[in-house]
C-alpha cells in the first residue's frame, strides 16, 4: 500500500509534537518524584511556612525564600508593568510608524541579552548607587526588582502591543467621532477593550520574573532572612536551588527538588491564568 507524502509529514509532525509533551512529562515526573517525598516527610506546613533552613540539621523551611521571591517579583512587575504598558501605549497610539519600526525591535532586543550581563551591570552600577544613597548593603530587594523589571520589559511590551493592536479600529474611530480626544479614546476605550490581553501580559511577565536565577543571585544578597524593606538582602527560590544544588546530597538534595516543585506549581498556575484570560478574550471577541 502506497503511503502519501502528506500523511508521512503529518506523522512526523505529530511525533515531534508528542516528543515535546513527553519531555515535559518526564521533567515533571522527575521533579515531583524527587521533591514530593521530602515535603510529605517534613509536612507541607513545616516546609512552606517555616523559616528554618538548616540542611545540616535536617530542617527545611522555605518561607523566607517564598517571601523573598514574592517581594522581588512584585517589585519587578511594578517597574515592568509601568514601563511595559507605557511603551505599548505610546507605540500603538501616539508614535509614528517609522519610529515604531525602530523602537519596538530595540525593546525586543533586550530579551536577547544574557541575564548575567544584566546582573553584572546591576553589581557595577546599581548596587553601589543603592548603598551610597539609600543605605543598606546595596545587594537588596530593590536592586533585584529593578534588574528583573528591565528583564521582563520586552515580554510585557510585546504582548501588550499585540493586545492593543487587536482592538478593532472601529472602536477608536467611533470614539473620536463622538468628540473624544485621542488620550480619552486610549484611556476609556482602547485600554478597556484590551484589558484581558494586558492582564495576560502582566501574568506572563510575572512568570518570567519568578523563574529568573542568575541575575537575581548577583544582586539580591542571598540572605536567608525575611526581608524587612526594599534595601534588605534577600534570597529567592530559584537562587536557593542554584546556590546549593552543586554540593547538596540526600535529604538536602530532595529539599531543593521540593523547592523546584513549589516553583513549578507557581509558574504553572500563572501560565494557566494567562491562558484562561487569553481564551476569555478570544471568546469575547467572537461574541
Per-domain boundaries in the chain: 53-286
> How far apart are the C-alpha atoms of 54 and 56, rounded to whole Å?
6
Q: Whole-angstrom Cα distance, residue 104 to residue 31?
A: 38
Q: pLDDT at position 21, please?
A: 85
Q: Grid coordinates 512587575 are at which residue?
A: 77
What pLDDT shows up at residue 66? 93
Cα 179 to Cα 43, 50, 89, 94, 175: the distances in Å are 62, 58, 20, 18, 7
Give the chain's end-to-end CA distance (angstroms, integer): 47
- Could you give phi then psi for residue 18, rounded to 5 degrees? -70, -30
Q: How confident is the model at residue 121, as a pLDDT?
A: 94
DSSP states of 180-229? --HHHHIIIIIHHHTHHHHHHHHHHHHHHHHH--HHHHHHHB--SS---S
147: nearest Cα among 209, 202, 88:
209
Distance CA 237, CA 204 (A): 18
Picking from 259, 227, 232, the residue whose alpha carbon sits closest to that of residue 243 is 259
What CA–CA distance (Å, rounded) separates 278 from 275? 5
Strands (E), the chain: 53-54, 59-60
The span from the CA of 44 to the CA of 139, in Å, is: 31
What string of pLDDT tens digits covers the 287 residues of the chain?
456 777 888 888 888 888 888 888 898 899 999 999 999 998 999 999 998 899 988 889 999 999 999 999 999 999 999 999 999 999 998 888 888 888 888 888 888 899 999 999 999 999 999 999 998 899 999 999 999 999 999 999 999 999 999 899 899 889 988 888 889 999 999 999 998 889 889 988 888 888 888 899 999 999 988 998 899 999 999 999 999 998 988 999 999 999 999 999 988 888 888 778 766 655 555 55
Q: What's the grid cell of residue 195? A: 484589558
Give the residues across from 190 on adjacent strands: none
Could you give the CA distance from residue 261 to residue 39 in angstroms, rounded to a whole number? 10
The CATH architecture to which 53-286 belongs is Orthogonal Bundle (1.10)
**pLDDT at position 280, please?**
65
Residues recorded for the chain: 287
- This prediction's pTM: 0.86
Q: State the burial class of residue 103 (Cβ atoms within 10 Å of its Cβ: 0-12, 13-18, 19+).
A: middle
**CA–CA dist 96, 2 (Å, integer):** 56
Nearest to 263 by CA among 245, 281, 285, 286: 245
Query: What grid cell was written down for 172?
Result: 477608536
Question: Angle at the Cα of 84 (from 135 to 191), degrees rounded to 5?
Answer: 130
Amino acid at each position: 500500500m502506497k503511503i502519501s507524502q502528506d500523511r508521512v509529514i503529518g506523522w512526523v509532525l505529530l511525533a515531534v509534537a508528542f516528543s515535546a509533551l513527553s519531555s515535559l512529562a518526564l521533567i515533571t515526573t522527575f521533579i515531583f518524584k524527587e521533591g514530593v517525598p521530602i515535603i510529605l516527610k517534613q509536612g507541607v506546613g513545616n516546609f512552606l511556612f517555616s523559616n528554618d533552613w538548616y540542611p545540616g540539621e535536617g530542617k527545611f523551611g522555605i518561607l523566607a525564600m517564598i517571601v523573598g521571591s514574592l517581594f522581588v517579583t512584585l517589585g519587578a512587575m511594578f517597574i515592568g508593568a509601568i514601563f511595559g504598558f507605557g511603551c505599548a501605549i505610546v507605540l500603538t497610539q501616539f508614535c509614528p510608524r517609522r519610529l515604531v519600526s525602530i523602537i519596538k525591535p530595540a525593546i525586543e532586543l533586550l530579551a536577547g541579552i544574557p541575564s548575567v550581563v544584566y546582573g553584572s551591570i546591576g553589581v557595577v552600577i546599581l548596587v553601589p548607587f543603592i548603598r551610597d544613597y539609600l543605605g543598606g548593603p546595596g545587594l537588596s530587594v530593590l536592586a533585584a526588582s529593578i534588574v528583573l523589571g528591565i528583564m521582563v520589559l520586552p515580554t510585557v511590551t510585546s504582548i501588550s502591543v499585540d493586545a492593543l493592536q487587536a482592538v478593532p479600529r472601529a472602536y477608536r474611530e467611533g470614539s473620536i467621532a463622538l468628540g473624544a480626544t485621542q488620550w480619552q479614546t486610549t484611556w476609556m476605550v482602547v485600554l478597556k477593550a484590551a484589558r484581558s490581553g494586558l492582564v495576560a501580559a502582566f501574568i506572563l511577565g510575572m512568570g518570567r520574573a519568578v523563574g529568573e536565577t542568575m541575575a537575581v543571585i548577583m544582586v539580591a544578597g542571598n540572605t536567608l532572612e525575611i526581608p524587612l524593606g526594599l534595601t534588605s538582602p534577600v534570597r529567592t527560590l530559584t537562587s536557593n536551588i542554584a546556590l546549593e544544588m552543586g554540593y547538596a546530597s540526600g535529604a538536602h538534595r530532595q529539599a531543593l527538588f521540593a523547592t523546584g516543585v513549589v516553583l513549578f506549581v507557581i509558574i504553572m498556575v500563572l501560565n494557566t491564568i494567562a491562558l484562561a484570560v487569553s481564551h476569555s478574550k478570544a471568546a469575547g471577541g467572537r461574541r
